[in-house]
Chain A
Amino acid sequence: MSVDKVTIFPCGGIGDPVSSVTRLAGYLLAEDLLPGRVQLVSIPPVVTGVPHELRLVQEYPVIVLDGCSHRCGSNALNLVGIRPAARLLTPRIRSETKHAIGRRRPYPEVSGQKLAKALAEKAAAVALGMLEDESYAFEPQRVHPNPEGLLDDGFDIERGLGYEEVQAGCFHCSGMCAFKLKDDPEMRRRLEEEVAEFERLEDIEC
């Protein structure tokens, strides 16, 4: 049985410019590609226990977008005992697409915006598989404090979650239902034709 909603969990960083890329990818997916079917979730309220956010990560599959080698998205989810349904690793997607992350933090440069689009497109393929594949069987989870990885950069989160790469940059977490990626040309068309790219911050008006 497929699911009626999927959540997206960007790394949530602020210091490294790559976090602006994962954050933008989350907005692209939830607002432009699959509105109403994908819900953005922030890391901090999940860890601090804000009820609405806890409910989301328990009831729906979570796609984690890890931004860098610290893998903070995966780690934060692990801290509350929730296993990701899927994980995208930005450095791997970046290697595949050759789009540079850039240096700007408030909003990525054009290369970072293109990388965010690539991430969002891949995440959409994962989400569509979960939303539309009748054989996808997700079991709701329960949060519980899991201190492994708290203030411990040495904790091996890859091994802890048993990640297995199923496609370049796209990982399955052990113990979770297998998923299929469902590519939809409409997602790419929207990203290319309907989502503007901005050279300068001053050009953004809204």
Chain B
Amino acid sequence: MAVRRIALHACGGITRPGSTVARLAVYFVAEELLPEKALVSCAPAFLRGVEEDVLMVQKSPSIALDGCEWSCGTNLLYLAGITPAVRILVPEYAEAQGYDLSRVNLRYPSGVGRELAWAVAERVADIGREMLARGSDYRFERPEVVRRQDEWFRPAPNMEGAMEFVRLEPGVYRPVEMPPLPEESKET
């Protein structure tokens, strides 16, 4: 089906600078760059089974923003049987864009963290706009929720052994099982 909204799924961490950046980037996209079109998926509420948060990632393609290599944004979706359309790995994207993640303040939305979050937000919004564009041939299949309890406590970074990705650029990945993004077909 055609895409009407996108769901932004930040990792939800609070102890790593990449998580702060991921969270801020989600706010910038949802509140300023794609208001009404980008929904904020709440990781703990999703786990809790809050209907709004579960339907959000079932009815719209998800963009997962991972704050570190442990990939909790992507992994929490995976544990419920959901594969994101795109995965942003903030530390890798930051390095490629010339930002020093170690200068990000965990607590305050200011300084380098704010600047980097804007850069991430603009990249995410570009991907979202192309999915949402009138006439876009990007199609989204509604996934079923599956409880993968046997895969809890699987300590492998970057979803190793669970999900494979196409690397579109440093820090921007598409799971191989998900449809190519509009920008990929332009490139070919």
Partner of A45, one of B24, B54, B72, B111: B72
**In the assembled complex, A147 has its CB within 8 A of some CB on chain B:** yes
Partner of B147, one of A16, A47, A51, A150: A150
> In the complex, A16 Cα to B80 Cα: how many Å?
22
The CB with the most chain B CB atoms within 10 A, among A12, A43, A152, is that of A12
**In the assembled complex, A41 has its CB within 8 A of some CB on chain B:** yes
A67 to chain B, nearest CB (A): 9
**In the assembled complex, A73 has its CB within 8 A of some CB on chain B:** yes
Q: Given A12-B43, A49-B152, A51-B155, A204 and B108 touching (CB < 8 A)?
A: yes
> In the complex, A15 Cα to B76 Cα: how many Å?
16
Interface size on B, residues (CB 8 A): 49
The CB with the most chain A CB atoms within 10 A, among B14, B15, B49, B152, is that of B14
**In the assembled complex, B175 has its CB within 8 A of some CB on chain A:** no
Determine if B108 and A206 form an interchain contact, defined as CB atoms under 8 angstroms apart.
yes
Q: Which of B7-59 contact A (CB under 8 A)?
A: 10-16, 19, 23-24, 26-27, 31, 40-51, 53-54
Chain A residues closer than 8 Å to B79, beta-carbon distance: 47-48
Determine if B107 and A31 form an interchain contact, defined as CB atoms under 8 angstroms apart.
yes
Encode B59-92 as 1/0 by CB contact (under 8 A) with A. 0000000000011110110011000000000000
Tally the A-B contacts, defined by beta carbons under 8 Å. Answer: 149
Determine if B50 and A49 form an interchain contact, defined as CB atoms under 8 angstroms apart.
no
**In the assembled complex, B101 has its CB within 8 A of some CB on chain A:** no
B76 to chain A, nearest CB (A): 6
> In the complex, A205 Cα to B40 Cα: how many Å?
26
Which residue of A is nearest B11, CB measured?
A44
Determine if A13 and B44 form an interchain contact, defined as CB atoms under 8 angstroms apart.
yes
> In the complex, A16 Cα to B19 Cα: how many Å?
17
B156 to chain A, nearest CB (A): 9
> In the complex, A41 Cα to B54 Cα: how many Å?
24
Chain A residues closer than 8 Å to B154, beta-carbon distance: 48-49
Q: Given A42-B19, A151-B147, A106 and B48 touching (CB < 8 A)?
A: no
> In the complex, A143 Cα to B155 Cα: how many Å?
14
A192 to chain B, nearest CB (A): 18
**In the assembled complex, B110 has its CB within 8 A of some CB on chain A:** yes
Determine if B42 and A147 form an interchain contact, defined as CB atoms under 8 angstroms apart.
no
Chain B residues closer than 8 Å to A10, beta-carbon distance: 14
A35 to chain B, nearest CB (A): 13
Determine if A48 and B44 form an interchain contact, defined as CB atoms under 8 angstroms apart.
no
Encode A42-85 as 1/0 by CB contact (under 8 A) with B. 11110111110010000000000000001111011001100000
Q: Given A40-B15, A70-B50, A205-B110, A15 and B42 touching (CB < 8 A)?
A: yes
Q: Which of A20-28, A94-102, A125-133, A183-191 contacts B (4 or more CB under 8 A)?
A: A20-28
Using a CB–CB cutoff of 8 Å, the interface residues on chain B facing chain A are: 10-16, 19, 23-24, 26-27, 31, 40-51, 53-54, 70-73, 75-76, 79-80, 105-111, 145, 147, 149, 152-155
Using a CB–CB cutoff of 8 Å, the interface residues on chain A facing chain B are: 10-16, 19, 23-24, 26-27, 31, 40-45, 47-51, 54, 70-73, 75-76, 79-80, 105-107, 143, 145, 147, 149-155, 201, 204-206
Add 16 more A-B contacts to A12-B14, A48-B71 (CB < 8 A): A11-B44, A14-B40, A15-B41, A23-B14, A42-B16, A42-B19, A44-B12, A44-B44, A48-B70, A76-B48, A151-B49, A153-B48, A153-B49, A155-B49, A206-B108, A206-B111
